[in-house]
Amino acid sequence: MNTLLITGVTGFLGGAVFEKILNDDSQINYLLLVRAADAHAGVERVKENMRKFNISEQRLARLTAEHILIGDLGTPEHFLDDRRLDDVTHVLNCAAVASFGSNPLIWKVNVEGTLAFAGRMAKVRGLQRFLHVGTAMSCAPQADSLVYESPDFKDNAEHLVEYTHSKSTIEQLMRETYPQLPLVIARPSIVVGHTHFGCQPSSSIFWVFSMALMLQKFMCSLDDRVDVVPVDYCADALLMILNSEIPSGEVIHISAGEQHSVKFADIDLAMSTALERAPVKDVYAQVTYETLVKMRRELKDIFGPCNERLMLKAMRLYGAFAMLNVRFSNDKLIGLGMPQPPRFTDYIARCVQTTRGLTIPQQMAVDFK
């Protein structure tokens, strides 16, 4: 790998990938797309994020302004003329507005800006790999299913949120518009926590499990399964895919799969052990969203000061995903030589430990930006 361009390095997944690169002393020339006023400010933004992964200051000192490409996928015209792009051999595109809220930038960044970026990189003669990070949920999976890796999407699929709709759309547009692009799609399932640092880098989605157990009721059954992988496993998988001989057009899940997905009952037991309290299995009730709405006035007593409307929106959206009971096949990734991922319950205690003292509203802010 000659020159790797990473987008989204100030985020959760992009940061985890860069953590691996810095800690492995990789001899990789890298260029980082960062939103900032100038390259020096960009360096500081990256360093701020990498400190969440406990990167030493000695390693961070290797990052210089020369590694920074100032730009934003929301306004790609401001960086696409940079001549350094012509020397890029590999792209890891992690950047996206990954909000489950109604962020007006979702389509502008995830679809329009990403397509313009892909078009620019399709013109680079030496480009060997454009690895785009999608989401396994972009296929709008059927409930109670094991989903296999396929580039095809159902016509008129109904998406629960605009984020997954944008991710399925950009995959199709890149394939159709730039067939010469050496495109490979990685679709992570649900990325939660870090096996060593827990939720220190990001509390994204972990709060959903805490919220449901605090409520002692939710829209899913305790027998339903959820496909969760830690961000550091996902980062290792992305780097393996970047360096593997994979034909263009391939779609690869980064997921727990049938074997390593876990039941909500197992999550309850693991979290209760970490919190040194009794599990809620004997009092837990599977309820409808309408029942949760009727509890609206009780939410502040359970969670402390909170926006009741936003809390109910979160319950509706994440409850709908939790009810799917979907697993995503990871056969292709394992076939490349990647080990099976840890189960969510293997490292959930680290997530509990690193969110102590944070309220549910504080934790969920990252997912509704």
Express each pLDDT in 193-248 by its tens digit: 999 999 999 999 999 999 999 999 999 999 999 999 999 999 999 999 999 999 99
Smallest Cα–Cα separation from 16: which of 45, 67, 53, 42?
53
- 4-16 pLDDT per residue, tens: 999 999 999 999 9
Identify the helix (H) or strand (E) that includes residue 263. Answer: strand 262-263
pLDDT of res. 137 = 92
Q: At residue 117, does pLDDT exceed 90?
A: yes
116 has pLDDT over 90: yes
Q: Would you state the torsion angle of the CA atoms of residues 54, 59, 44, 3, taken in this order, to the nearest 10 degrees?
A: -120
DSSP E strand stretches across 20-173: 29-34, 68-70, 90-93, 129-133, 146-147
d(CA 244, CA 81): 29
How far, in Å, CA of 100 to CA of 189, rounded?
Answer: 15
Number of residues that make up the chain: 369
Q: Return the structure tokens found at 269.
A: 């037991």
What are the CA-CA distances from residue 132 to residues 117, 250, 361 (Å)? 11, 11, 31
Question: Which pLDDT belongs to residue 148?
Answer: 94
Which residue in this structure is represented by tokens 């008129």?
Answer: 156
Mean pLDDT of 98-109: 86
Residues 46-63: b if buried by 16+ CB within 10 A, e if exposed:
beebbebbebeeeeeeeb
Query: Which percentage of the chain shows pLDDT scores above 90?
Result: 88
Question: For the chain, what is the mean pLDDT?
Answer: 95
306: three-class secondary structure by DSSP: coil
Amino acid 269: pLDDT: 98
Q: Tell me what pLDDT residue 231 has.
A: 98
- Helix/strand/coil for 254: strand
CA distance 11 to 240: 20
Give the list of residues 6+ apart from residue 223 with CB closer than 8 angstroms, or none: 263, 264, 265
pLDDT digits (tens, 9 = 90+) for 252-287: 999 999 999 999 999 999 999 999 999 999 999 999
Query: Does the structure show a pLDDT above 80 at 25?
Result: no
How large is the average pLDDT for residues 299-319? Answer: 92
Span 131-149, average pLDDT: 92
0.85 cut: is pTM over it? yes
Give the span between the Cα atoms of 260 and 240, in whole angstroms. 20
What are 154-174's pLDDT values in tens digits? Answer: 777 778 888 999 999 999 999
Q: Can you tell me the distance from the alpha carbon of 209 to that of 141, in angstroms, rounded to the nearest whole number?
A: 21
Specify the 3-state DSSP secondary structure of 80: coil
- pLDDT score, position 205: 95
Return the closest-CA partner of residue 301 out of 311, 287, 316: 311
Look at residue 250 in the predicted model and tell me its pLDDT: 97
Closest listed residue to residue 193, CA positions, set 204, 183, 184:
204
Could you tell me how many helices (H) and strands (E) the chain has, helices first? 16, 15
Residue 40 token pair: 């020096």
Query: What is the per-residue pLDDT for 139?
Result: 87
231: helix, strand or coil: helix
How confident is the model over 63-103, as pLDDT tens digits?
999 999 999 999 999 999 999 999 999 999 999 998 777 78
Confidence category of residue 26, pLDDT binned at 50, 70, 90: confident
Using CA atoms of 130, 247, 11, 99 in order, give the dihedral in degrees to the nearest 10.
100
* pLDDT score at 1: 60
